[in-house]
Amino acid sequence: MLRLGVNIDHVATLREARKTTYPDPLDAARLCRDAGAHGLTVHLREDRRHIQDDDVRRLKQADILPLNLEMGNHPEIVDFAVQLRPDEVCLVPEKRAELTTEGGLDVAGQKAGLQATLTRMQHAGIVVSLFIDPDPAQIEAASELGAPYIELHTGSYCDSFGVAADHELDRLKRGAELAHRLGLKVNAGHGIHLGNLPGILQIPHLDTLNIGHSLVARAVLVGMRAAVEEMLQAMAGP
Ligand code: PXP
């Protein structure tokens, strides 16, 4: 069965925009669980633009659903993860100025640094996933490193149309086949929404889809009517 990991970063984005105490990502996490999601993902960025250290600690302590911590391979965050012991860590490339994770990890080019982190994580009992483009050289490098999981970066497919989208989808399908042949478990994520999901579902051997931005965006619209009704009722007084 294909599993859904909900990335709740952008619940924290709304909170951080005003530095309020709401919306609390833990409240969102409980709603995700109640709706049937299989896991939660948060990206603790170096610049802490959305999820904060305390959010991750509270999520771990509350044990609402299995927790997947996305992170760059930076010493400070690696120490944090080893101490916290989330169920899973997904190593991603991270650039400060980017709007969101752009492109996959260069596993082939950063083997030594990734190997050291992978070993530390594995000793701490954390399952490691490497976020990579569907590039055969990167998939082979992930397998050589001994990572149990890869997450295929679906952004290029999700952001393109027509022939270009067909080409990107084909790369994802071939990448998933190769990873499966090499014994890797395959997740996928980035840019997935209801409109491009049918293509994503054609990718073989998928374990988990990690979806964030489109779900939080949709939740705002799905919830707007209830929120306005609630406010009007309160304004009408007791
Ligand atoms: N997977 C990874 C590794 C990511 O970096 C992100 C974005 O934080 C996602 C999944 C979720 O992407 P989106 O928010 O576009 O659904």
Q: Which of 14-18, 55-59, 100-104, 219-223 has the lowest mean pLDDT?
A: 100-104
Q: Is 70 a catalytic residue?
A: yes
Q: Is any atom of ligand 1 closer than 6 Å to the C-beta of 210? A: yes
Copy the structure tokens of residue 153.
């970066």
How many whole angstroms separate alpha carbon 91 and alpha carbon 68?
10
How many whole angstroms separate alpha carbon 14 and alpha carbon 137?
38
Atom 1 of ligand 1, nearest CA residue:
189
Helix axes 213-235, 9-18, angle to 10 degrees: 50
SS3 per-residue string spanning 57-120: HHHHHHCCCCEEEEECCCHHHHHHHHHHCCCEEEECCCCCCCCCCCCCCCCCCCHHHHHHHHHH
Copy the structure tokens of residue 20.
């309020």
Catalytic choice (10, 50, 70, 168): 70
CB atoms within 10 A of CB 176: 23
Q: Is any atom of ligand 1 closer than 6 Å to the C-beta of 90? A: yes
Q: Across residues 42-58, what is the average pLDDT?
A: 95
Closest to 40 in 3D by CA, of 74, 1, 67: 67
Reply yes or no on whether the pLDDT at 101 is more than 70.
no
Reply yes or no on whether the pLDDT at 98 is more than 90.
no
Q: Is any atom of ligand 1 closer than 6 Å to the C-beta of 100? A: yes
Coil/strand/helix, residue 182: coil
Q: Across residues 37-56, what is the average pLDDT?
A: 96
- Mean pLDDT, the chain, rounded, equals 96
The confidence score (pLDDT) of residue 97 equals: 66
Coil/strand/helix, residue 39: strand
Residue 207 main-chain phi, psi, to 5 deg: -95, -60
* Global confidence as pTM: 0.96
- Position with higher pLDDT, 103 vs 34: 34
Q: Is 180 a catalytic residue?
A: no
**C-alpha 115 to ligand 1 mean position (Å):** 23
Catalytic choice (10, 43, 50, 153): 43
Query: Counting atoms of ligand 1 from 1, which one is nearest the CA of 193?
Result: 16
Classified by CATH at the fold level, domain 3-236 comes out as TIM Barrel (3.20.20)
Copy the structure tokens of residue 67.
């927790």
Choose the residue to mutate in 98, 100, 129, 159 for probing ligand 1, maximizing ligand atoms within 8 Å of C-beta.
100
Name residue, tokens 């067909």. Answer: 166
Q: What is the pLDDT of residues 69-86, one digit of tens each?
A: 999 999 999 999 999 999
Domain boundaries, the chain: 3-236
- The string of DSSP letters for 177-204 reads HHHHHTT-EEEEESS--TTTHHHHTTST
Percentage of residues in the chain having pLDDT higher than 70: 97
Choose the residue to mutate in 133, 196, 206, 210 for probing ligand 1, maximizing ligand atoms within 8 Å of C-beta.
210
AA letter at 126:
I
Q: Across residues 160-169, what is the average pLDDT?
A: 97
